[in-house]
Structure 1
Amino acid sequence: MQGVRVLARALASAGRQQPVSFQTKLHARESGILEIIEGFPWCAQQWRKGLLGRDVGGTGVRSFASSPLSRKIVESQLPGAICRYRLLKTAFWKQAQSASRSCRMSTMSVEAGSIKEMAPLVKGGISNQKTVGTWLFGCTGWVFSMVVLGGMTRLTRSGLSMTDWKFVGSLPPLTEEQWQMEFLKYQSSPEYKRVNKGMSLNEFKFIFWMEYAHRMWGRALGIVFAGPFAYFVLRGYISQRLGLRLCTLMTMGAAQGFVGWWMVQSGLEEPETEYIQPRVSPYRLAAHLTSAFAIYSGLFWTALSVVTPHSTASGEAARAAMRVRRLAVPVAALVGITAVSGAFVAGNDAGHAYNTFPKMGDTWIPEGLMDMKPFFRNFFENTATVQLDHRILATSTLFSIVGMWAVTRKLPVDPRVRTLLNATFGMAALQVTLGISTLLMYVPVSLGTAHQAGALTLFSIVLSLVHGVRRPLPGFISASQISGQVMSLHRLVK
């Protein structure tokens, strides 16, 4: 008896927790509950007579919870069957209690925290939401172009052409005398003395313009981000939650400039021996690339959240989305780790060694794999180890994505999720092809840049997939969870 009463309270609480803004879902939700209790004839009859059409959070549900429904159910379904009554008391008491507890927890979550999640990130309606979303997607694309331009700058060995740095930037050389002064600064750097000795002024101008464009493109992004952001705040478009998130991203973007100069400084120092070519620290290069990926991810995720604030999946599609999510989250982490390992390949110029595939030279495992001391340095500074790690991670990423695609093929997911799964599979295959081609052709600038752009593209698709299979808000899922609990109880006592 007590178990059924708990069940009644759970159903009542499920009705009370629905926000007023979702009254349009009243009839669909009531019909769903009616299906659940259809196996109890008297209960279904009383529901139709007294409750159908009443306010979900009003006296109807409360009267349902306080009515002698539980006694009627027991009398009609368990007439004198002591063993089945014990089953009610023992076998599904915990399930009914769990249903009530989960419902209460969901209600508390909605009241305490999820109301904030349900509030839109952008105020003022759909039009403002589209405007802010377009701006954020534009900034995301700008960051994407920054990453690609940075890859081109590294591949053309242009990153060390500017030997000083100013936070707000400066005008480029405009006269021949100014160009000569910049060239003299570069001629005093280790890279010119050991790698580019004898370079002409015109050749220097090319690498200078590459680095200058990369730096100024980043500063222009700051203006493109900060200007509209201030405008939207003044117009009241931005909610507090979104404002805090965007302030964090803007701070990260400003710090990225300092991280870039910190990286360049490591390449302007004299190498330890005369046999080592000047280049930036692989650790600082990895930090710079990881920071860029973090900023890009934050902007892209925020833009997606502005355009699609909440998950709209329900029923079978929602359950399938949760299964996809369990696979997509670790896959996204693996894609990110593989991209960071590529920064160590670039930082050590490991792409110019072992330009064969699938073997590394004439062997599967190259010599000198763990020669460095201490041991951990091999994974970040040893050319053979760094390239082997990147190969293993890339292969593992490909197999993981193929496995996720195969496992989820027959799941009843939303068509948009299915499209993203197919796109992830296709982009992973393309990215591996680009990586192998880049290695076999000794890292030409075109293929190397395409490979870096491909990594960010694959990461973007996986992020979109993870965003598309988000968990619904507690207020949306509690009713379905309780429905599942009730159905299992009904099967037990049927």
Structure 2
Amino acid sequence: MAEFAQMTPSRASIAPGGPARPALLARWLFVIAGLILFMVAVGGVTRLTESGLSITEWKPVTGAIPPLTEADWQAEFAAYKQSSQYALMNQGMTLAAFKQIYFWEYFHRLLGRLIGLAYAVPLVWFAARRAVPRGYGPRLIVLLLLGGAQGAVGWFMVRSGLTDRVNVEPAMLAAHLGMALILLAAVVWTACDFARLARTPHGGSARLKLAGAIPALLLFLQILLGALTAGLRAGYVANTWPLMNDHLVPEGITWWGSFWMTLTSDPFLVHFLHRWWAWVAAGAIIWMAGWLHRTGSTGLAYALLAITLAQIMLGIATVITGVALVLAVAHQLVGALLLGVAVMGAHRLGTPRAA
């Protein structure tokens, strides 16, 4: 995030000339950010319904066409039957049940393709119309490449679960979500750049400062811990709060030979860390909200506080309901939303005050 923020053009280069349309670009990128949030929610449903391994091939173009005939469905089902998930967990699954899990994985991938088109096609149009302010073209291309890399990481994640496992590797799941969050943060930051450029063409560029960077980073790590919690099914090891099965530090933590192996393999440890790191991240967000309030951005400060409270309540409810589907998906979605708003707050704190 820090390196990306440094790509912001200098004050002299961002002054729009000719037909540059920063306000339109800002609205476009905020729509893309909204689509990414929707993608995160659909990804949560895909994971919770154990649907992610139902499509065993990656066909970026032809894969957009779903099975259309009974023979097509039988071929897809036969390919799935070769996976470890089917052999170890879903023996005897009917074709009708397979179609249900196939839908969520297909929809997840289709949405990724649609987001790619919603980004690439307008980008070409904006470039052709010379609507992109000077200096921002390379950054917009980097965002496009990040989106493509996210799709590739998603396939590597799926492939990690096709043999000798009934689910994807937790570390790969965390990497996949982490890439989505990085892309979301970069899109939101750039949208905020364009929005500011539309208001004050000569007002100077936003810079990432510690008051914004630290809370955003701590929150990013918290969401990654949530991805590991999901990948290890660690949410199911305790359904009590604030204690875990009547213990502050839960029984059952096993050392796997190294901290990294333990972190990516032990559900009790990951669940414990996700619970308590949440308060570190929440404290940092409250600190950021205080800075925003002092600088006059009261609306953004209150939004951060409200979303943080909602996220904490959703996390607790997810635990005590035994990971109810709707609550778990809402928890993942609101976490990503909180990060997006935190990036907006970091941008606001890094923006020079108008003369």
Tell me if TM exceeds 0.5.
yes
Aligned length: 343
In the alignment, does 2:319 pair up with 1:435?
Answer: no
CA shift for structure 1 position 349: 0.8
CA shift for structure 1 position 455: 0.3
Name the aligned partner's letter for residue 197 of structure 2: P
Name the aligned partner's letter for residue 217 of structure 2: A
- Residues 471, 225 of structure 1: alpha-carbon distance in 2 compared, 3 angstrom cutoff: closer
User: Hey, which of these two has a bigger chunk of helix by percent?
Assistant: 1
In the alignment, does 2:78 pair up with 1:165?
Answer: no
**Alignment TM-score, normalising by the size of structure 1:** 0.65
Paired residue for 1:214? 108
Task: Work out which of the two has the higher radius of gyration on C-alpha atoms and give 1 or 2.
Answer: 1
CA shift for structure 1 position 230: 0.9
Name the aligned partner's letter for residue 451 of structure 1: H
Which structure is higher in RCO with an 8 Å CA cutoff and minimum separation 6? 2
- Residues 145, 124 of structure 1: alpha-carbon distance in 2 compared, 3 angstrom cutoff: farther
Name the aligned partner's letter for residue 423 of structure 1: A
Structure 1 unmatched runs, 5+: 1-112, 272-277, 313-320, 478-494
The CA distance in 2 between the partners of 1:325 and 1:374, in whole Å, is 34
The CA distance in 1 between the partners of 2:291 and 2:185, in whole Å, is 26
Paired residue for 2:240? 356
Aligned residue among 352, 367, 371 for 2:255: 371
CA shift for structure 1 position 365: 1.0
Aligned residue among 181, 187, 200 for 2:81: 187
The CA distance in 2 between the partners of 1:405 and 1:286, in whole Å, is 27
Q: Percent identity?
A: 34
The correspondence of residues 391-410 of structure 1 with structure 2, limited to 5 A, is 391-405=275-289
The CA distance in 2 between the partners of 1:371 and 1:268, in whole Å, is 26
Q: Deviations over 1:99-118 (max 9, x none)?
A: xxxxxxxxxxxxxx998334
The CA distance in 1 between the partners of 2:304 and 2:326, in whole Å, is 23
Paired residue for 1:454? 334
Given that 1:348 and 1:383 are in contact with CA atoms closer than 8 Å, whether structure 2 keeps it comes out as yes
CA shift for structure 1 position 367: 2.1
Given that 1:122 and 1:242 are in contact with CA atoms closer than 8 Å, whether structure 2 keeps it comes out as no
In the alignment, does 2:143 pair up with 1:143?
Answer: no
CA shift for structure 1 position 184: 1.3
In the alignment, does 2:135 pair up with 1:241?
Answer: yes
- Residues 376, 370 of structure 1: alpha-carbon distance in 2 compared, 3 angstrom cutoff: farther
CA shift for structure 1 position 329: 2.8
The CA distance in 1 between the partners of 2:234 and 2:67, in whole Å, is 34
Name the aligned partner's letter for residue 185 of structure 2: S
Note the aligned Cα RMSD (angstroms). Answer: 2.5
Given that 1:123 and 1:237 are in contact with CA atoms closer than 8 Å, whether structure 2 keeps it comes out as no
Paired residue for 1:283? 171
Structure 2 unmatched runs, 5+: 1-6, 201-205
Aligned residue among 191, 197, 210 for 1:303: 191
The CA distance in 2 between the partners of 1:437 and 1:338, in whole Å, is 17
CA shift for structure 1 position 152: 1.1
In the alignment, does 2:91 pair up with 1:197?
Answer: yes
The CA distance in 2 between the partners of 1:213 and 1:309, in whole Å, is 36
- Residues 247, 115 of structure 1: alpha-carbon distance in 2 compared, 3 angstrom cutoff: closer
- Residues 353, 184 of structure 1: alpha-carbon distance in 2 compared, 3 angstrom cutoff: same
Name the aligned partner's letter for residue 346 of structure 2: V
Q: Deviations over 1:191-218 (max 9, x none)?
A: 1111122221111111111111111111
The correspondence of residues 405-484 of structure 1 with structure 2, limited to 5 A, is 405=289, 411=294, 413-414=295-296, 417-472=297-352
Paired residue for 1:223? 117
CA shift for structure 1 position 407: 7.2
Name the aligned partner's letter for residue 425 of structure 1: L
